[in-house]
Structure 1
Amino acid sequence: MHPNTTPEPAAPAAALTEIQAEVEARRLIATAYRDETPLPAHGNTPPVTQPGRPPMSQGATDASVLMLAGGATTAMVGGTAAVLMYLSQFADPLVCGLVFGAPTALVLALARLTKRAKPAPDVHQHYTGPVYQDQRNVHTTTRGVWAKTNNHP
């Protein structure tokens, strides 16, 4: 069989006559159940507060998570700096601010950069007529003190 052809559907093991099919259909209809009771109407009961975070848009949820993470990071960095200055008794607050604030600034900058990154768009190509596609993979290795690159298709 050619890989692009679809197989023929298999014939049923025992084909039913018209009368048998009608009897089977009536049997199925007779044993079927449908709940005909009307759906309850909305009443005047006040809404109940659900546990967890309140419902928000995706943007608001992302912003709140970012603020919580930033607050926790700031608390940890500030607490560490305060403990260090208290224990050393002569630590310079400016130096401590620079040492402990630099990682926080780096994390916030990376967070802003990743927020702006967007995924690559899907590419849909539509062709008419015969199409020849040539897809090649090139494996590159570079070795040695004096770099020698070998490309292997």
Structure 2
Amino acid sequence: MTTDPKHLTDSEASAEARRLILEAYRPEVPAAPTYFRDTTPVPAFGTTPPVPQPDSRIVPQWAAGVAVASIGVGAGITGLGCGAWLLLQGLASVTLTGVLAVTLPFAGVGVAATAIGSALARVRRASTTNVYKGTVVQRTEVTATARGLFSRAKAGR
């Protein structure tokens, strides 16, 4: 059998390819078992003794942080959603009687403020005396200048 690829027959090339493939995919380390069977006998009655089950999983710190943050965000969003639901339920059950009952104190305060303000305005007006000294000049000339797109009007002084 010749190992030079230029001089192999079809059957020799097929055998060489099979050998190379088997050599490439041969496991170098024996496969570790992925199961465990406990062969200790189970008692006929009563509870079974505990069997140690070591846990070797390691969770990265960033993954634990993301999980905690996700739980926090979810709880916060749920709280906001519940608050919005309660607010909208309250707004949906508004009646005329309820609106009047809530706004009546504000209306009373508004009426009282208006009454006090008008009374104070009348007191001030009764005691005010306007005395004008000097000449009064009234100018009514208007000068308009239109330039381009915009125009301005100036009152004469």
> When the two structures are superposed, what TM-score results if normalisation uses the length of structure 2?
0.23
Comparing both structures, which one devotes a greater share of its residues to helix? 2
Question: Relative contact order (alpha carbons < 8 A, sep ≥ 6): 1 or 2 greater?
Answer: 1
- Over alpha carbons, which structure has the higher Rg? 2
> When the two structures are superposed, what TM-score results if normalisation uses the length of structure 1?
0.23
